[in-house]
Chain A
Amino acid sequence: MAVVKMENATKDYKVGKVDVPALRGITLSIEKGDFAALAGPSGSGKTTMLNLFGCLDKPTGGKVFIEEHDIITLKPDQLADVRNEHIGFIFQSFNLIPVLTAFENVEFPLILLKKDGPGARKKKVMEMLAAVGIANLANRLPSEMSGGQQQRVAIARALVKNPDYVLADEPTANIDTKTGHEILDLMQAMNKNLGTTFIFSTHDPKVMEHARRLIHIRDGQIESDVTQAGI
């Protein structure tokens, strides 16, 4: 079952008076449980695709469906609600809220979701912090944690609301290789144990090796879409 799909999606950016195409007609379906990497050089259109998958942007042409919602038709608040309910985000530079502790950062999306009371929220947050291996750092501020630890908080924040899929934009770009591997292992474990769908972008061949499904993008088009055996 597809959690998100694109049908002939195009995206143009205006640079001065010229329309520069970033995506040139992409048709792609991400299935539940996928662990998919969008690979390609800088400027190939990876981030644009992630933005469309993340309801952060709308396509210039074609369609993007999330849970059968055509995102073209949604208003800003409806898009915010779709992001809130269906999508988890992990950013390259962690993007934690600096004045909130690890616990509070992970709790933040649950507060926006308004489904759980404080007790239920606390239980979910502590379980998720334990799952990413930093339950002991719950009361630390981001500035008191290493890059790897902050990215674990970001993963916990993305997963705590049990989203349909998680988008990760170059999740290992800002951390050292060893920690990067640990983060990828953690994401894989979450994919396996919780069945969470992951879509991440990368241009690092080592990271691509971890992906079960590898989608190569070049010049705004899909170059190849392969399932890698043995992962």
Chain B
Amino acid sequence: MFRLALRNVLRNKRRSFLTGLSIAFAVMMVIFLWTFVSGIIDNLFNSYVTNSVGHIRVMNMDYLKRESMLPLSATVYDYQQVMKKLEEDPNVTLVTSRIKFGVLMDIRGKNKPVLGIGIDPARERSVLDLQDKMVAGRMFTAGTSETVVGLGLAKDLGLKAGDTLTVITQTAHGSLSGLNLKVDGIFSLGVASVDNRTFFLPLGQAQQLLDLDNRVTEIFLLIKDSDKAEEVAAELNKKLPSGLTAVPWQANGFLYFMMAIVRYIYGVIYAFILILASFTILNTMFMAVMERTREIGMMKALGMREGALGRLIILEALILGVLASFIGAIGGTLLAYYVSTVGIDYTAAFQQIRDIEIPLGYIYKGQFSWLTIGTGFVMGIIFSVLASVFPARRAAKMEPTEAMKAA
């Protein structure tokens, strides 16, 4: 039976080749897109998590309500005590604290909002890891009056390593305060929205600048399983002093949308690509069945059962589907490997749209996964077989006398 099916596939070589090509191409595109989109989503998630929302953040409830204003009046008091308590939770893998504050800076004659972030450089080693992201100079150490500036911002301000950055801002009490910071280095996190408008300084300097003794704007947490952030945050909320709240990353509507909805939307797109390709199988198998009407009638006359005949047609589609999906999977693997190691460089595009708010990297890399490749391969086969069911039924139900009359 297999031999017969294989020869039937090879009977019209050009048609089988073209059909196979469309399946192979669909499988390749699905693997490539899946790899690429997973990579973008993963990249986006990591960027959002490390630069902004963490897995969970602990904040003053009032701060949460007005977070876009960066209100220094609603902060976390006795933050070191709170951090100690959070570190005791077995789900929590990292605790660090940050102070975010807004500064207006004169950039080419215009006042532009810039974000200053006070951090603990030692603890941030496993989060932001600025040490490894310097493009000039070096990272500062705790307790110094030093800063590192984002690459885009440094260009805008005409700063280079060794220069001095003067920061003037309002303190938590509303008075003006200023600080001269030595620019130790220029960093690039590979994320336009951060690199173009952020500078980092030691946490102590930020506290001094802003009159925030023993206070931070947020405590930043990483946990073992990011998918469980909502449950862990709910647990932590029971232990926190009143006025503070633990906010899981899912509370960020945009990120949640990207993680949940976009994956779903792309799932539909992959299915759509495969459905389009399976129409060629449907068409080819129908043509094959119609062309072989007499032959099918004869096989039925010789005593071939309906089921066996249907299985023969499906087996032909299966052979074509396996071969084509295999070739598509090889092509897809190569593309996936390329896009996940080299990536696609969007630097030029980001220079056009400097003020983009979405924290995406300049170079998109795919997320290489054998599971994706295997799924693409298997889906190619499944769709090929499904598309042949209808023609197979048609062949099985042919009346032998009618079929043999056909010219």
Residues of A within 8 A of B (CB): 51, 54, 56-57, 76-77, 80-85, 87, 89, 91, 93, 95, 97-100, 104, 108-109, 111-113, 157
Judged by a CB distance under 8 angstroms, whether B7 is at the interface is yes
Tell me the minimal C-beta distance from A81 to chain B in angstroms.
Answer: 7
5 contacts between A and B (CB under 8 A): A56-B401, A95-B294, A97-B299, A99-B4, A108-B299
Tell me the minimal C-beta distance from A45 to chain B in angstroms.
Answer: 14
Report whether B401 and A95 are in contact in the complex, using a CB–CB cutoff of 8 Å. Answer: no
Residue of B11, B306, B401 touching A99 (CB-CB under 8 A): B11
Residue of A85, A89, A98 touching B301 (CB-CB under 8 A): A89
Report whether A77 and B307 are in contact in the complex, using a CB–CB cutoff of 8 Å. Answer: yes
Chain A contacts of B11 at CB under 8 A? 98-99
Given A99-B11, A100-B7, A108-B302, 16 more A-B residue pairs with CB atoms under 8 Å apart are A51-B401, A54-B301, A56-B401, A77-B305, A80-B304, A80-B305, A80-B306, A83-B302, A84-B303, A89-B302, A91-B404, A93-B294, A97-B298, A99-B4, A112-B302, A112-B308
- Cα separation A104 to B7 with both chains bound (whole Å): 12
Chain B contacts of A57 at CB under 8 A? 401
Report whether B298 and A77 are in contact in the complex, using a CB–CB cutoff of 8 Å. Answer: no
Known interface pairs A57-B401, A100-B7, A111-B1; A81-B305 also in contact (CB < 8 Å): yes
Chain A contacts of B8 at CB under 8 A? 99
Chain B contacts of A157 at CB under 8 A? 302
Known interface pairs A100-B7, A111-B1; A95-B304 also in contact (CB < 8 Å): no
Chain A contacts of B302 at CB under 8 A? 83-84, 89, 108-109, 112, 157
State which size class the interface on B falls in.
20 to 34
Tell me the minimal C-beta distance from B16 to chain A in angstroms.
Answer: 12
| Nearest 4 CB-CB pairings of A with B | A84-B303, A99-B7, A95-B298, A83-B303
Tell me the minimal C-beta distance from A200 to chain B in angstroms.
Answer: 15
Q: Tell me the chain B residues, 108-131 only, with Cβ under 8 Å from chain A.
A: none
Q: Which residue on B lies nearest to A78, using beta carbons?
A: B305
Q: Tell me the chain B residues, 270-308 only, with Cβ under 8 Å from chain A.
A: 294-295, 298-308
Chain A contacts of B305 at CB under 8 A? 76-77, 80-81
Residues of B within 8 A of A (CB): 1, 3-4, 7-8, 10-11, 294-295, 298-308, 400-401, 404
Chain A contacts of B301 at CB under 8 A? 54, 56, 83, 89
Tell me the minimal C-beta distance from A128 to chain B in angstroms.
Answer: 15
Q: Which residue on A lies nearest to B301, using beta carbons?
A: A89
Residue of A80, A91, A100, A109 touching B300 (CB-CB under 8 A): A80
- Cα separation A7 to B391 with both chains bound (whole Å): 38
Tell me the minimal C-beta distance from A90 to chain B in angstroms.
Answer: 11
Chain B contacts of A111 at CB under 8 A? 1
Chain B contacts of A100 at CB under 8 A? 4, 7
Most chain-A Cβ atoms within 10 A of its Cβ — which of B1, B304, B306?
B304
Q: Which residue on B lies nearest to A81, using beta carbons?
A: B303
Chain A contacts of B303 at CB under 8 A? 80-85, 87, 109, 112-113
Q: Which residue on A lies nearest to B403, using beta carbons?
A: A56
- Cα separation A99 to B12 with both chains bound (whole Å): 11
Q: Which residue on B lies nearest to A82, using beta carbons?
A: B303
Known interface pairs A56-B301, A89-B302; A95-B404 also in contact (CB < 8 Å): yes
Chain B contacts of A87 at CB under 8 A? 303
Known interface pairs A83-B301, A91-B298; A76-B306 also in contact (CB < 8 Å): yes
Chain B contacts of A89 at CB under 8 A? 298, 301-302
Most chain-A Cβ atoms within 10 A of its Cβ — which of B10, B303, B400?
B303
Q: Which residue on A lies nearest to B295, using beta carbons?
A: A97
Chain A contacts of B299 at CB under 8 A? 97, 108
Tell me the minimal C-beta distance from B293 to chain A in angstroms.
Answer: 11
Chain B contacts of A56 at CB under 8 A? 301, 400-401
- Cα separation A56 to B308 with both chains bound (whole Å): 17
- Cα separation A148 to B298 with both chains bound (whole Å): 19
